[in-house]
Chain A
Amino acid sequence: MSKVLEVKNVEKYYGNKSNLTKAIDNISFKVNDGEFVGIMGASGSGKTTLLNCISTIDRVTAGHIIINDKDITKLKGNRLNKFRREELGFIFQDFNLLDTLNCYENIALALTIQKVNPKEIEKRVEDIARKLEITDILKKYPYQISGGQKQRVASARAIITNPKLLLADEPTGALDSKSARQLLETFEYMNKELKATILVVTHDAFSASYTDRILFIRDGKIFNEIVKGEASRKEFFEKIIEVQTLLGGDLSDVI
Chain B
Amino acid sequence: MLFKISFKNMKKSFKDYAIYFLTLVLGVAIFYMFNSLDSQQAMLDVTSSTREFIKIMVRMLELVSVFVAVVLGLLIVYANNFLINRRKKEFGIYMTLGMSKGQISRIILFETILVGILSLVAGIVIGVFASQFMSILVAKLFQADLSEFQFVFSKAACIKTCIYFALMYFAVMIFNTITISRYKLINLLTAIKKNEKLKLKNPVLSVIVFFVSIALLGWAYWTVTVKANTLNTAEKAFELIIVGIVGTLLFFWSLSGFIIKVIQSRKSIYLKGTNMFVLRQLNNKINTTVVSMSVICIMLFMTISILSASLSLRNTMEKDLVEMTPVDLNLYKTANLPKSYVNAYGNVITCTEKQIEDSKYPITYTLENYNYDLNKLKDIVEIPIYVTDELTWRDSLGSSFEEAKLEFPGLLYDSPEEIVKVSDYNKIARVYGLSEYSLEDDEFIVLCDFDSMKELRDRELKKSNATITLDGKIYHSKYNECQSGYIRMSTSHVNTGIILVPDSCNLKEEWKEQYFLAANYNTDSEDEYLKIEEDFTNNTSQIIKELKNDSIELDGMTKNAIVESSVGLATMVVFIAIYLGLVFLIASAAILALKQLTESADNKQRYTVLRKIGCDEKMINKALFAQIAIFFMLPLLLAIIHSIFGIQFALSLLSGLVSSEELIPSIIATVIIIGVIYGIYFLSTYFGSKNIIKEE
Interface bits B263-297 vs A (CB < 8 Å: 1, else 0): 00001101111111100110110000000000000
Which among B47-55, B322-330, B607-615, B670-678 touches the partner chain?
B607-615
Inter-chain contacts of B609 with A (CB < 8 A): 96-98
Inter-chain contacts of A108 with B (CB < 8 A): 271, 276
Q: Which one of B267, B270, B271, B277 contacts A98 once the chains associate, using CB atoms below 8 Å?
A: B277
B281, B616, B617, most chain A CB atoms within 10 A: B616
Q: Which one of B200, B613, B616, B617 contacts A157 once the chains associate, using CB atoms below 8 Å?
A: B613
CB of B613 within 8 A of CB of A90, answer yes
CB of A112 within 8 A of CB of B276, answer yes
A105, A110, A143, most chain B CB atoms within 10 A: A105
CB of A100 within 8 A of CB of B274, answer no
CB of B272 within 8 A of CB of A118, answer yes
Residues 353-404 of B contacting A (Cβ, < 8 Å): none
Inter-chain contacts of B271 with A (CB < 8 A): 108, 111-112, 118, 121-122
Residues 74-90 of A contacting B (Cβ, < 8 Å): 78, 81-82, 84-86, 88, 90
Q: Which one of B275, B284, B615, B617 contacts A100 once the chains associate, using CB atoms below 8 Å?
A: B284
Interface bits B239-275 vs A (CB < 8 Å: 1, else 0): 0000000000000000000000000000110111111
Inter-chain contacts of B281 with A (CB < 8 A): 100
Q: Answer whether residue B545 sits at the interface, using C-beta atoms and an 8 A cutoff.
A: no
Inter-chain contacts of B268 with A (CB < 8 A): 118
CB of B272 within 8 A of CB of A109, answer no
Q: How far, in whole Å, are A88 and B326 apart by their CA atoms in the complex?
A: 84
Interface bits B596-626 vs A (CB < 8 Å: 1, else 0): 0000000000101110111111110000000
CB of A110 within 8 A of CB of B198, answer no
Q: How far, in whole Å, are A97 and B609 apart by their CA atoms in the complex?
A: 7
CB of B275 within 8 A of CB of A112, answer yes
CB distance from A82 to the nearest CB of B (A): 8
CB distance from A148 to the nearest CB of B (A): 19
Inter-chain contacts of A114 with B (CB < 8 A): 614
CB distance from A124 to the nearest CB of B (A): 11
Q: How far, in whole Å, are A96 and B275 apart by their CA atoms in the complex?
A: 19
Interface class of chain A by DSSP: helix
Q: Which one of B267, B272, B273, B280 contacts A101 once the chains associate, using CB atoms below 8 Å?
A: B280
A96 with B280, Cβ < 8 A, contacts A113-B619, A115-B273 known: no
Q: Answer whether residue A92 sits at the interface, using C-beta atoms and an 8 A cutoff.
A: yes
Q: How far, in whole Å, are A216 and B305 apart by their CA atoms in the complex?
A: 72
A119 with B267, Cβ < 8 A, contacts A100-B281, A100-B284 known: yes
Q: Which one of B273, B283, B618 contacts A112 once the chains associate, using CB atoms below 8 Å?
A: B273
CB of B270 within 8 A of CB of A113, answer no
CB distance from B631 to the nearest CB of A (A): 15
CB distance from B332 to the nearest CB of A (A): 74
CB of A101 within 8 A of CB of B612, answer no
Q: How far, in whole Å, are A230 and B617 apart by their CA atoms in the complex?
A: 46
CB of A143 within 8 A of CB of B198, answer yes
Interface class of chain B by DSSP: helix
Chain A: interface residue count, which band?
20 to 34
Q: How far, in whole Å, are A208 and B613 apart by their CA atoms in the complex?
A: 24
Closest to B272 in A: A112
CB distance from A59 to the nearest CB of B (A): 14
CB of B198 within 8 A of CB of A101, answer no
CB distance from A195 to the nearest CB of B (A): 21
Q: Answer whether residue A99 sits at the interface, using C-beta atoms and an 8 A cutoff.
A: yes
Inter-chain contacts of A237 with B (CB < 8 A): none
Closest to B197 in A: A143
Closest to B615 in A: A113
Inter-chain contacts of A85 with B (CB < 8 A): 613-616
Q: How far, in whole Å, are A157 and B617 apart by their CA atoms in the complex?
A: 20
Inter-chain contacts of B616 with A (CB < 8 A): 78, 81-82, 85
CB of B198 within 8 A of CB of A100, answer yes
Inter-chain contacts of B614 with A (CB < 8 A): 81, 84-86, 88, 110, 113-114
CB of B277 within 8 A of CB of A109, answer yes
Inter-chain contacts of A99 with B (CB < 8 A): 195, 198, 606
CB of A105 within 8 A of CB of B280, answer yes
Interface bits A153-180 vs B (CB < 8 Å: 1, else 0): 0000100000000000000000000000
Interface bits B547-560 vs A (CB < 8 Å: 1, else 0): 00000000000000
CB of A118 within 8 A of CB of B270, answer yes
CB of B613 within 8 A of CB of A101, answer no
CB distance from A51 to the nearest CB of B (A): 13
Inter-chain contacts of A115 with B (CB < 8 A): 272-273
Q: How far, in whole Å, are A121 and B614 apart by their CA atoms in the complex?
A: 17
Q: Which one of A82, A84, A98, A122 contacts B606 once the chains associate, using CB atoms below 8 Å?
A: A98
Inter-chain contacts of B195 with A (CB < 8 A): 99
A86, A96, A119, A122, most chain B CB atoms within 10 A: A96
Inter-chain contacts of A97 with B (CB < 8 A): 609
CB of A100 within 8 A of CB of B613, answer no
Closest to A119 in B: B267
CB of A110 within 8 A of CB of B613, answer yes
CB distance from A143 to the nearest CB of B (A): 6
CB of A122 within 8 A of CB of B280, answer no
B267, B271, B612, B616, most chain A CB atoms within 10 A: B271
Inter-chain contacts of A86 with B (CB < 8 A): 614
CB of A109 within 8 A of CB of B198, answer no
A100 with B283, Cβ < 8 A, contacts A113-B619, A119-B267, A141-B200 known: yes
Q: How far, in whole Å, are A81 and B621 apart by their CA atoms in the complex?
A: 14
Inter-chain contacts of A122 with B (CB < 8 A): 267, 271
Closest to B267 in A: A118
Inter-chain contacts of B610 with A (CB < 8 A): 98
CB distance from B195 to the nearest CB of A (A): 8
CB of B612 within 8 A of CB of A92, answer yes
Inter-chain contacts of B275 with A (CB < 8 A): 112
Residues 108-144 of A contacting B (Cβ, < 8 Å): 108-115, 118-119, 121-122, 141, 143
A81, A109, A118, most chain B CB atoms within 10 A: A109
CB of A112 within 8 A of CB of B274, answer yes
CB distance from A199 to the nearest CB of B (A): 16
Q: How far, in whole Å, are A109 and B618 apart by their CA atoms in the complex?
A: 16
CB of B619 within 8 A of CB of A90, answer no
Inter-chain contacts of A100 with B (CB < 8 A): 198, 277, 280-281, 283-284, 606
Q: How far, in whole Å, are A100 and B627 apart by their CA atoms in the complex?
A: 14
Inter-chain contacts of A82 with B (CB < 8 A): 616
Inter-chain contacts of B276 with A (CB < 8 A): 101, 105, 108-109, 112
CB distance from A96 to the nearest CB of B (A): 5
CB distance from A53 to the nearest CB of B (A): 15
Closest to A122 in B: B267
Closest to B603 in A: A100
Q: Which one of B200, B274, B608 contacts A113 once the chains associate, using CB atoms below 8 Å?
A: B274
Residues 570-585 of B contacting A (Cβ, < 8 Å): none
B272, B277, B608, B613, most chain A CB atoms within 10 A: B613
Contacts A82-B616, A96-B608 aside, 13 further interface pairs with beta carbons under 8 A come to A78-B618, A84-B614, A96-B613, A99-B606, A109-B276, A110-B613, A112-B276, A113-B613, A115-B273, A119-B267, A121-B271, A141-B200, A143-B198
Q: List 22 A-B contacts (CB under 8 A).
A: A82-B616, A85-B614, A96-B608, A96-B612, A97-B609, A98-B606, A99-B195, A101-B277, A101-B280, A109-B274, A110-B613, A112-B272, A112-B274, A112-B275, A112-B276, A113-B274, A113-B613, A113-B619, A118-B267, A118-B268, A121-B271, A141-B200
Closest 6 CB pairs of A and B: A85-B614, A81-B616, A118-B271, A100-B280, A118-B267, A96-B609
Q: Which residues of B contact A (CB under 8 A)?
A: 195, 198, 200, 267-268, 270-277, 280-281, 283-284, 606, 608-610, 612-619
